[in-house]
Amino acid sequence: MNEFITWSLLGTYAGAVAVTAMVTQFLKPVSFLKKLDTQLLSFIIALLILETSSLFLYGWNPENALLCILNSVAVSLASNGTYDILHKTVTVAEKEKNNG
């Protein structure tokens, strides 16, 4: 496989969640984006990913555009939840390492 990320992958729930999480964490330190709430930033990223992948895979139509908005909420929440779980796991592991 020559490509890590494809439009088809971005059109899936798992692919959209993974890429949304990665891009959100990558963009959080950008100075003018620091003012945005992380959940809002991840929603915007998810919306851009889903709308763009839908455009390239199926073409544009109002039904898909509306579904992408709704799906972006689910992708954003899953992305944020995944980050929170990983962050807590690493924090606990570091505390155990330092206390052990």
pLDDT at 100 over 90: no
The C-alpha angle 79, 82, 87, rounded to 5 degrees, equals: 125
Q: Taking the CB of residue 93, how many other CB atoms lie within 10 A of it?
A: 10
Give the model confidence (pLDDT) of 56-87 as tens digits: 999 989 999 999 999 999 999 999 988 888 88
> What is the reported pTM?
0.83
